[in-house]
């Protein structure tokens, strides 16, 4: 029953997507608005297919319907709530199902938002691109990555359940969906970018309309990455936050391009510059999303995340190639139309800062990508196997990170077009002294080492600058001044700086110790004492837990544990760390050797890491800032010119119509532009 | 060519190279893999086996030795065990090869029980603090090293091994004939490091 | 307000930062038997049994064994380089998380720097081109000025006022 339901849903989804492609293509070709308006019901049909498939799979999992192979291989009746719900995205085929559902959701949302403009050529092309992407993923699920395959289960068969690492912490339930909301969200601005290139309407109209979508997708992606780090910290037992693992890098690459884009797009809105940059960054973001999916699922690089190797690897690589080829081809074709009317006047200006920003983020992405695939390059060249790990990435990205921190401080105070030394000295005065203050504070707290201290300096500088903007905004407009893109952006900056500085501090100043501890013994690390008091064994539905009691500083008791999951056929045992967190430092306890009745000595690993909590606080601030930035600001219509030449702005309407300068010669003023 | 077109061309070149690289990358580890030890003298293994008898790898000069790293809690090792039993039976009769196993992270009593249940009577050293696995560069279990009668490592197998593979390796590295009949060993010169 | 324009006030600020940074310097330990050194060395080696973890971070049996070996070697007084090459000899370069600086692998250090230099020089060249473009446009030559005046005078003498529809 679930199988039939699932197949039907997927078939409906694929059918509707294909119909949508045809309808859009024919409608655009024959200029038929009736047909173009069909995109709304067709998109609803696509979403319906995805929902039916998703519900069928969840139902199969929750009722432990082992006639579905995915359930037999990845689910178990003993998995507790809510991890059983999360089992759906615990393995390859199910994760593609979730991805597709979110993609269809975004597609429908677009048809709702643009319901009055569905017959506009640009929207129609965007819908066509979205339908193509939907069709691709549905086809994947009807072919190589099929979640609804039949399985002949012996009566009473119970599957192994999701990987124990995926059931250990509640964060695992949220991290993938939020991450996917981010990844998939970038399909929308990408679709509009392609539509703009195809129709030749490469002006600023579509940018403004998709700005909020891009921001939403960026916000979700940022949250997803932070949650992933948090999960890694709480679960994996090594007490770290970022390992430069291939899949972490794969999620960082689109984030870097997207961040560069949301900044650089402001220059295009204001002055019509950097068009090629913006289109390229958007296409790069989406392509890197697909490349990242490929890297995760193909197994060509080592990773914690690697799903099992399967045939969809080459298909995803092919899709990546096609997307890049189409994007590059279209940009080449429209290269002349993309020429900007003006130029950056001076490098010391807001525009100049954003150009530098673009370059820095591109450099960052390049270094990360190079390091990730470099072992493959070397192996192809001379067969040697080398590794590129944290030491390389840390060293290479550190200077780029410092430069970005510096720009974060300077750019908000830079005027457009040109800055004078006087203006800069005036505005950067207080940020400068906040920088010195944070340096002295850090040194007083015992921080040493020029790199982390420099991080404190630049971080203080950035926070001073962002804080200054917030103060000015609230002074001028009261509480209302906190809403809107500009101030929301400053709040996000503060969040990012908190994350960056906390990350540097936590990795530079950690103390670790590994001990063999007998009951009653006390060990000390980093100025704290840890006493092993005893242990107990607890049975749960799907695992046996050995909990060890550690008393910290004679005060609180924390219980790192060792969990043996017995639904897995090989009986995997994984340790669950316990973290005593505080705003100044985290005390991280991990059990490395289980005690037994006969031999109660444990292996205990203790890590004292300062300021880790500020990484999560910073993440929360980033989310808050994104929300604030989504609200409309008090600005005038961004399409009305501030410093761009008047000849270009034709037919611009306050309602934000998707019109704009096109490749054809400008029509005389007063005539409507279609 | 204008600026954007140059950039597009450059990016196209890089992406084509990247796709070609990723498409041709092979992620299957070799069964017979490169090891820096191949062609070098085998690191020493000395100690007492699970039956209490002394074991010394250097005493095996003149015979081929299969050094097998395993553990009873490792499923591929358990699966591989009958192959080793088979190999041992054949070559013990001929007298040209022997097996020495190193049990990793194991209680000797558990290993004894395992061998009692599953057959095999060659020396097994339960590694304690000696770090033999480290000195051989063992990454995961099971791994098997083939050592020539002169005490040189000739092969490394990174996964469960079969009797057939061991025999083939013996043939390719040596003549396969019993030592003492002037076997010519074609030891591959090491990969160096 | 004018205070902050004083050059010396900013020099003072810069000095405070430089002095602070210099004050706070510290190096990672490269000798002795401390746990800090153990984990610093471990962080430079890859745990081969795990995916994506270093020897310092992993709890896999091989990582634990390697750490105890590092400890043993530290107590024998070996240098960082000797310890790293001990493992490199037995496990190939794969075990070292810092890619070697020689041969093809060394490219991974060089390529980003070269790409960075190319990008920066491209940027400088672009700015220079923009500036010269603008400068040329900004100053019409005297000849051009005269031609424009002549043309305007001619047009002004035309009866119909001329066709002015060139858009805005």
Of A37-51, A228-242, B107-121, C137-151, which gets the smallest average pLDDT?
C137-151
Q: What is the per-residue pLDDT for A109? A: 94
Does residue B189 fall inside a structural domain? no
Of A66-75, A553-562, B23-32, which gets the smallest average pLDDT?
B23-32
- Chain B residues near any Cβ of chain C (below 8 Å): 3, 34-37, 104-105, 129, 131, 133-140, 191, 193
| Residue-range definition of the domain harbouring residue B169 | 46-173
C-interface mutation test, from A356, A368, A389, A438, most C Cβ less than 10 A away: A389
Judge whether residue B167 has pLDDT over 80.
Answer: yes
Helix or strand run (H / E) with residue A130? helix A121-142
Q: Enumerate the H helices of A334-449 as residue ranges.
A: 350-382, 390-410, 421-427, 429-444
Does residue B93 fall inside a structural domain? yes
Judge whether residue A672 has pLDDT over 70.
Answer: no
Chain A contacts in chain C segment 82-121 (CB below 8 A): 92-100, 103-105, 107-109, 111-112, 115-116, 119-120
**DSSP code for A631:** S
**DSSP code for C96:** B
Give the residue carrying structure tokens 């409309």: A632
- Residue C10, chain A, CB below 8 Å: the answer is yes
Q: What is the per-residue pLDDT for C135? A: 57
Q: What is the pLDDT of residues A613-637, one digit of tens each?
A: 999 999 999 999 999 998 886 655 5
**DSSP code for A217:** H
Give the residue carrying structure tokens 């097998």: B68
Yes or no, beta carbons of C10 and A425 under 8 Å apart: yes
Strands A511-517 and A602-610 come out as antiparallel
Judge whether residue A50 has pLDDT over 50.
Answer: yes
A-interface mutation test, from B8, B17, B76, B156, most A Cβ less than 10 A away: B8
State how far the Cα of C93 lies from the Cα of A387, in Å rounded to an integer: 7
Of B5, B7, B22, the CB nearest to A300: B22
ipTM attached to this prediction = 0.75
* Interacting residues of B171 by C-beta distance below 8 A, sequence separation 6+: none
| Bigger pLDDT: A387 vs B88 | B88
State how far the Cα of A367 lies from the Cα of C110, in Å rounded to an integer: 11
Return the sign of the alpha-carbon dihedral for residues A37, A38, A41, A46. negative
Q: What is the pLDDT of residues A347-358, one digit of tens each?
A: 888 888 999 999
- Residue C34, chain A, CB below 8 Å: the answer is no
Q: Is B160 helix (H, G, I), strand (E, B) or coil?
A: coil
| Bigger pLDDT: B179 vs C91 | C91
**DSSP code for A516:** E
* Interacting residues of A502 by C-beta distance below 8 A, sequence separation 6+: A611, A612, A613, A614, A615, A618
Where are the extended beta strands (E) located within A496-560? 511-517, 522-525, 528-539, 543-552, 556-558
- pLDDT category at A488 given cuts 50, 70, 90 is very high
Chain C closest-CA separation from residue B12 CA (Å): 16
Of A248-252, B111-115, C1-5, which gets the smallest average pLDDT?
C1-5
Chain C positions touching B135 (Cβ under 8 A) are 90
State how far the Cα of A665 lies from the Cα of B1, in Å rounded to an integer: 22
Q: What is the pLDDT of residues C34-73, one digit of tens each?
A: 777 888 888 888 877 666 678 887 777 778 888 888 888 8
Yes or no, beta carbons of B25 and A324 under 8 Å apart: no
* Interacting residues of A570 by C-beta distance below 8 A, sequence separation 6+: B75
Does residue B3 fall inside a structural domain? no
- How many percent of chain A have pLDDT more than 70? 91
Termini Cα distance of chain C:
44
C-alpha distances (whole Å) from C139 to each of A341, A540, C132 are 19, 83, 11
Upstream peptide bond of A82 is cis (omega within 30 degrees of 0)? yes
**DSSP code for B101:** E
Does residue B2 fall inside a structural domain? no
- Residue A366, chain C, CB below 8 Å: the answer is yes
Closest to A93 (Cα-Cα) out of A62, A55, A57, A63:
A57
Give the residue carrying structure tokens 């591959």: B188
Give the residue carrying structure tokens 């192959």: B83
| Bigger pLDDT: A190 vs B4 | A190
Q: Enumerate the H helices of chain B as residue ranges.
A: 3-24, 75-94, 108-118, 132-136, 163-173
Chain C closest-CA separation from residue A638 CA (Å): 20
Q: Is A311 helix (H, G, I), strand (E, B) or coil?
A: coil
Does residue B14 fall inside a structural domain? no
Q: What is the per-residue pLDDT for A416? A: 87
Judge whether residue A588 has pLDDT over 50.
Answer: yes
Q: What is the per-residue pLDDT for A129? A: 96
Yes or no, beta carbons of B2 and A328 under 8 Å apart: no
Yes or no, beta carbons of B37 and C91 under 8 Å apart: no
- Interface partners of chain B (CB pairs < 8 Å, 3 or more) are A, C
Q: What is the pLDDT of residues C94-105, one digit of tens each?
A: 788 887 777 777
Residue C85 burial (CB < 10 Å; 0-12/13-18/19+)?
middle
Q: What is the per-residue pLDDT for C2? A: 65
Give the residue carrying structure tokens 């510290």: C26
- pTM, full prediction: 0.81
State how far the Cα of A117 lies from the Cα of A123, in Å rounded to an integer: 7
Return mean pLDDT, chain A.
Answer: 84
Q: What is the pLDDT of residues A648-666, one digit of tens each?
A: 333 333 333 333 333 333 3
Does residue B34 fall inside a structural domain? no
- Residue A632, chain C, CB below 8 Å: the answer is no
Chain B closest-CA separation from residue C32 CA (Å): 22
Q: Please, how many CA atoms are within 13 Å of residue A446, restricted to the half-sphere of its CB?
A: 6
* Interacting residues of A534 by C-beta distance below 8 A, sequence separation 6+: A519, A548, A549, A600
Domain boundaries, chain A: 410-509+618-630, 511-610
- Interface partners of chain C (CB pairs < 8 Å, 3 or more) are A, B
A345 Ramachandran zone, left/alpha/beta (phi>0; psi -120 to 50) = alpha
Q: What is the pLDDT of residues A391-450, one digit of tens each?
A: 889 889 999 999 999 999 999 999 888 888 888 888 888 899 999 999 999 888 888 888
Yes or no, beta carbons of B105 and C61 under 8 Å apart: yes
Yes or no, beta carbons of B21 and A377 under 8 Å apart: yes
Closest to A246 (Cα-Cα) out of A285, A204, A292, A210:
A292
Q: What is the per-residue pLDDT for C161? A: 44
Closest to C134 (Cα-Cα) out of B70, A137, A345, A229:
A345
Q: Is A545 helix (H, G, I), strand (E, B) or coil?
A: strand
Yes or no, beta carbons of C1 and A454 under 8 Å apart: no
Residues A13/A50, Cβ–Cβ less than 8 Å: yes
* Interacting residues of A249 by C-beta distance below 8 A, sequence separation 6+: A368, A369, A371, A372, A393
Q: What is the per-residue pLDDT for A292? A: 86
- Calculated CA dihedral for residues C49, C54, C58, C64, nearest 10 degrees: 80
State how far the Cα of B42 lies from the Cα of B136, in Å rounded to an integer: 8
Yes or no, beta carbons of B36 and C69 under 8 Å apart: no
- pLDDT category at A161 given cuts 50, 70, 90 is confident
State how far the Cα of A197 lies from the Cα of A121, in Å rounded to an integer: 12
| Bigger pLDDT: A127 vs C144 | A127
Closest to B101 (Cα-Cα) out of B129, B132, B130, B73:
B132
| Bigger pLDDT: A383 vs C145 | C145
Q: What is the pLDDT of residues A204-226, one digit of tens each?
A: 778 777 888 999 999 999 999 99
Chain B closest-CA separation from residue A299 CA (Å): 7
Of A161-175, A428-442, A556-570, which gets the smallest average pLDDT?
A556-570
What total number of domains does chain B contain? 1
Residue B99, strand partner residues: B66
Yes or no, beta carbons of B25 and A338 under 8 Å apart: no
- Residue A424, chain C, CB below 8 Å: the answer is no
Locate B26 and state its tokens: 């092979």
Yes or no, beta carbons of B193 and C61 under 8 Å apart: no
Q: Which residues of A161-184 are buried (b: 16+ CB within 10 A; e: fewer)?
A: bbbbbbbbbebbbbbbbbbbbbbb
Q: What is the per-residue pLDDT for C18? A: 85
A-interface mutation test, from C24, C95, C111, most A Cβ less than 10 A away: C24
């Amino acid at each position: 029953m679930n199988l039939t339901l699932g197949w039907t849903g997927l078939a409906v989804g694929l059918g509707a997507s294909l119909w949508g492609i045809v309808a859009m293509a024919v409608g655009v070709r024959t200029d038929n608005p009736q047909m173009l308006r069909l995109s709304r019901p067709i998109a609803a049909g696509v979403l319906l297919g995805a929902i039916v498939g998703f519900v069928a799979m969840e139902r199969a999992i929750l009722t432990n319907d082992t006639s579905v192979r995915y359930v037999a291989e990845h689910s178990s009746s003993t998995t507790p709530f809510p991890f059983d719900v999360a089992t759906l995205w615990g393995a390859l085929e199910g994760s593609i199902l979730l991805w597709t559902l979110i993609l269809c959701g975004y597609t429908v949302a677009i048809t709702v938002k643009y319901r009055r403009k569905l017959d506009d050529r640009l929207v129609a092309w965007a819908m066509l691109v979205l339908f193509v992407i939907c069709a691709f993923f549905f086809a994947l699920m009807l072919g190589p990555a099929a979640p609804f395959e039949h399985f002949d289960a012996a009566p009473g068969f119970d599957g192994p359940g999701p990987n124990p690492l995926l059931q250990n912490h509640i964060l695992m339930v949220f991290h993938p969906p939020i991450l996917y909301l981010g990844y998939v969200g970038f399909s929308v601005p990408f679709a509009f970018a392609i539509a703009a290139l195809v129709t030749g309407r490469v002006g600023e109209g579509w940018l403004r309309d998709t700005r909020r979508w891009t921001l939403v997708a960026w916000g979700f992606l940022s949250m997803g990455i932070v949650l992933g780090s948090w999960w890694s910290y709480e679960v994996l037992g090594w007490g770290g936050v970022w390992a430069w693992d291939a899949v972490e890098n794969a999620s960082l690459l689109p984030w870097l391009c997207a961040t560069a884009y949301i900044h650089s797009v402001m220059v295009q809105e204001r002055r019509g510059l950097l068009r090629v940059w913006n289109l390229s960054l958007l296409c790069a973001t989406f392509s890197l999303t697909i490349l990242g999916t490929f890297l995760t699922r193909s197994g060509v690089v080592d990773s914690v995340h690697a799903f099992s190797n399967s045939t969809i690897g080459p298909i995803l690589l092919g899709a990546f190639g096609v997307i890049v080829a189409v994007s590059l081809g279209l940009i080449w074709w429209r290269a002349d139309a993309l020429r900007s009317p003006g130029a950056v006047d001076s490098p010391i200006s807001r525009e100049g800062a954003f150009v530098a920003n673009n370059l820095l983020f591109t450099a960052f992405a390049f270094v990360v990508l190079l390091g990730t695939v470099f072992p493959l390059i070397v192996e192809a060249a001379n067969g040697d196997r080398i590794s590129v790990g944290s030491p390389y990435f840390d060293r290479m990205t550190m200077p780029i990170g410092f430069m970005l921190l510096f720009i974060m401080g300077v750019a908000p105070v830079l005027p457009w077009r040109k800055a004078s030394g006087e203006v800069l000295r005036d505005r950067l005065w207080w940020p400068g002294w906040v920088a010195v203050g944070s340096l002295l504070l850090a040194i007083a707290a015992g921080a040493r080492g020029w790199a982390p201290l420099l991080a404190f300096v630049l971080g203080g500088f950035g926070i001073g600058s962002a804080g200054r903007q917030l103060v000015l905004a609230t002074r001028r407009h009261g509480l209302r001044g906190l809403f809107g893109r500009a101030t929301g952006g400053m709040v996000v900056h503060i969040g990012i700086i908190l994350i960056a500085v906390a990350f540097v501090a936590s990795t530079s100043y950690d103390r670790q110790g590994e001990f063999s501890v007998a009951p009653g013994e006390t060990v000390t690390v980093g100025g704290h004492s840890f006493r092993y008091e005893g242990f107990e064994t607890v049975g749960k539905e799907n695992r046996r837990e050995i909990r060890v009691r550690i008393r910290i500083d004679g005060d609180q008791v924390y219980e790192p544990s060792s969990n043996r999951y017995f639904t897995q056929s090989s009986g995997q045992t994984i340790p669950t760390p316990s973290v005593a967190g505080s705003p100044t430092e985290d005390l991280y306890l991990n059990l490395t050797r289980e005690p037994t009745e006969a031999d109660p000595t444990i292996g205990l690993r203790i890590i004292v890491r300062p300021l880790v909590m500020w990484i999560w606080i910073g993440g929360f601030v980033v989310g808050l800032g994104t929300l604030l930035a989504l609200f409309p600001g008090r600005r005038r219509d961004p399409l009305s010119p501030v410093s761009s030449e008047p000849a270009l702005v034709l037919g611009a309407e306050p309602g934000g119509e998707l019109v704009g300068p096109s490749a054809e010669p400008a029509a005389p003023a007063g005539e409507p532009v279609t | 060519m204008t600026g954007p077109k140059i950039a597009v061309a450059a990016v196209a070149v890089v992406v084509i190279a990247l796709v070609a690289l990723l498409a041709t990358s092979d992620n299957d580890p070799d069964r017979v893999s490169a090891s820096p030890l191949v062609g070098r003298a085998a690191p020493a293994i000395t100690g007492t086996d699970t039956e209490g008898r002394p074991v010394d790898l250097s005493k095996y000069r003149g015979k081929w030795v299969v050094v097998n790293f395993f553990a009873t809690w490792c499923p591929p090792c358990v699966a591989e065990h009958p192959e080793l039993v088979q190999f041992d039976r054949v070559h013990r009769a001929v007298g040209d090869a022997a097996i020495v196993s190193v049990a990793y992270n194991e209680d000797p009593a558990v290993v004894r029980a395992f061998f009692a249940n599953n057959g095999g009577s060659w020396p097994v050293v339960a590694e304690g603090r000696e770090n033999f696995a480290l000195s051989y560069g063992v990454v995961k279990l099971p791994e098997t090293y083939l050592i020539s009668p002169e005490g040189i490592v000739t092969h490394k197998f990174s996964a469960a091994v079969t009797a057939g593979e061991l025999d083939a390796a013996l043939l390719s590295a040596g003549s396969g004939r019993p030592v003492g009949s002037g076997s010519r060993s074609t030891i591959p010169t090491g990969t160096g490091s | 307000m004018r205070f902050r324009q004083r050059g010396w006030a900013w020099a003072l600020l810069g000095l405070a930062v430089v002095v602070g940074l210099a004050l706070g310097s510290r190096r990672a330990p490269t000798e002795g038997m401390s746990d800090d050194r153990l984990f610093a060395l471990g962080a430079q080696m890859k745990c081969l049994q795990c995916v994506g973890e270093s020897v310092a971070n992993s709890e896999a049996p091989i990582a634990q064994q390697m750490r105890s070996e590092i400890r043993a070697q530290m107590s024998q007084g070996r240098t960082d380089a000797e310890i790293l090459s001990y493992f490199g000899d037995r496990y190939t370069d794969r075990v070292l998380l810092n890619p070697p600086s020689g041969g093809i692998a060394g490219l991974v250090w060089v390529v980003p720097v070269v790409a960075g230099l190319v990008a920066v020089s491209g940027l400088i060249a672009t700015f220079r081109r923009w500036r010269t473009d603008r400068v040329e446009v900004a100053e019409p030559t005297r000849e051009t000025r005269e031609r424009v005046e002549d043309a305007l005078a001619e047009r002004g003498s035309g009866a119909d006022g001329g066709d002015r529809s060139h858009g805005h």
